[in-house]
Amino acid sequence: MSIDFEQLRADALEAVSAAGDSEALQALRVRYLGRKSPLKSALRGLSDLPAEERARVGRLTNEIKNDIEQAVAGRSEALEREHESELGGREWSDLTLPARRGRRGHRHPITLVEQDLDNLFRGMGYRVVEGPWVEDEWHNFDALNIPKWHPSRDSFDTLWLSDGNLMRPHTSPVQIRAMKRFGAPLRAVFPGRVFRNETLDATHEAAFNQIEGLVVDREITPGHLFHSVKAILSAILEEDVETRFRPSYFPFTEPSFECDIMRNGDWMELCGMGMVHPTVLEAGGLDAQEWTGFAFGLGIDRLAMMRYGIDDIRWFHRGDLRFLEQF
């Protein structure tokens, strides 16, 4: 049996360098180096050869075997590198991408409007202060110039608690708390929930939200009040709103006004306000000879309804996802 060793080496090296993937390479390894390969049978047949032939053929087959092994190892590495760089092109990771988040809820429309209001007022130098939902009679009524016998107490539809305290029917008691806490001059808003014993309909809820504004300084006039309220409403509604100020009555302001704005050809009542009554300044610990101020109270729910085109205030508390998911 004679083998053309040089032809075998040339064939093997060519085939190995052309192997397209690791399976093809493995098949070539078996074919050229495996137990049944021509090289292995040549090695097995060495003992039958004459001595001088044996040495020559032994050296040659070993040399060829080494060459093929090296070629297989080299090709294998090259294939591995190719595979990796191909993967790199296909399966790369962008480490700058933000991590995937779980499903999250979102803010309630009332909260959205309230946060906008907070930011708006902060930008105008007002501080944002919250007061308690459960109030005492003094902060809610007496300090606001509404003594026990005063008929306007009845107009608040107050929800009384068995301990004599009450669910605040407006945010005005926070005026007193803020004056006592911060003194004058003062520029602050008090957003938050209020409660009334109301008969519910599309525009009345037993729990709703107000934002109260209070400015105390020297020589504050109704001019400051009218200008501020118009500027604030225009900023909130993002248009130059047409306002109308009507005389009104609140025990804690004198004079008092009601502000209406023009909406779709109709005047809409939006905001009670007035010059802070001297008795209220004194209840807040301030000298009414020295300090003056104005206050206003805005309905947040009504603003949210206007902004989002909501036709019934009762949607806000229904917890209906079909409604809530729109915001």
The residue within the footprint of ligand PHE, chosen from 114, 135, 205, 212 (CB under 6 A), is 212
Greatest pairwise CA separation for the chain in angstroms:
136
Minimum CB separation of residue 322 from ligand PHE in Å reads 32
Minimum CB separation of residue 250 from ligand PHE in Å reads 4
117 contacts ligand PHE (rule: CB under 6 A): no
293 contacts ligand PHE (rule: CB under 6 A): no
Instruction: Kindly tell me which of 109 and 251 has the beta carbon lying closer to ligand PHE.
Output: 251
Whether 260 contacts 273, CB under 8 Å: no
29 contacts ligand PHE (rule: CB under 6 A): no
266-276, strands of its sheet edge to edge: 127-128, 186-195, 207-217, 292-299, 266-276, 253-263, 243-250
295 contacts ligand PHE (rule: CB under 6 A): yes
Whether 263 contacts 194, CB under 8 Å: no
What span, in angstroms and rounded, lies between the C-alpha atoms of 57 and 3? Answer: 10
Question: Tokens 């990796």, residue?
Answer: 84
Minimum CB separation of residue 264 from ligand PHE in Å reads 24
The residue within the footprint of ligand PHE, chosen from 220, 277, 297, 304 (CB under 6 A), is 297
Minimum CB separation of residue 310 from ligand PHE in Å reads 21
Tokens (6 digits) for 31 = 């074919």
274 contacts ligand PHE (rule: CB under 6 A): yes
The residue within the footprint of ligand PHE, chosen from 9, 29, 170, 187 (CB under 6 A), is 170
What span, in angstroms and rounded, lies between the C-alpha atoms of 150 and 173? Answer: 17
Instruction: Kindly tell me which of 261 and 273 has the beta carbon lying closer to ligand PHE.
Output: 273
The residue within the footprint of ligand PHE, chosen from 191, 192, 251, 272 (CB under 6 A), is 272
The residue within the footprint of ligand PHE, chosen from 253, 270, 275, 316 (CB under 6 A), is 253
Whether 274 contacts 255, CB under 8 Å: yes
How many chain residues touch ligand PHE (CB under 6 A)? Answer: 11
Instruction: Kindly tell me which of 29 and 170 has the beta carbon lying closer to ligand PHE.
Output: 170
229 contacts ligand PHE (rule: CB under 6 A): no
Say which DSSP state 70 is in: H
For 158, residues 6+ apart whose C-beta sits below 8 A from its C-beta are: 140, 166, 167, 169, 196, 197
What span, in angstroms and rounded, lies between the C-alpha atoms of 171 and 192? Answer: 7
Alpha carbon dihedral 161, 163, 164, 165, in 10-degree steps, equals -60
What span, in angstroms and rounded, lies between the C-alpha atoms of 271 and 273? Answer: 6
Instruction: Kindly tell me which of 45 and 255 has the beta carbon lying closer to ligand PHE.
Output: 255
284 contacts ligand PHE (rule: CB under 6 A): no
Minimum CB separation of residue 100 from ligand PHE in Å reads 46
Instruction: Give the residue at shortest CB distance from ligand PHE.
Output: 297
Q: Transcribe 202-251 into DSSP letters.
A: TTB-SEEEEEEEEEEETT--HHHHHHHHHHHHHHHHTS---EEEEEEEET
> What element of type H or E holds 275?
strand 266-276
Instruction: Kindly tell me which of 9 and 170 has the beta carbon lying closer to ligand PHE.
Output: 170
Instruction: Kindly tell me which of 191 and 274 has the beta carbon lying closer to ligand PHE.
Output: 274
145 contacts ligand PHE (rule: CB under 6 A): no
Minimum CB separation of residue 239 from ligand PHE in Å reads 24
Mode of pairing for the β-strands spanning 186-195 and 127-128: parallel
172 contacts ligand PHE (rule: CB under 6 A): yes
Sites of contact with ligand PHE (CB under 6 A): 170, 172, 212, 250, 253, 272-274, 295-297
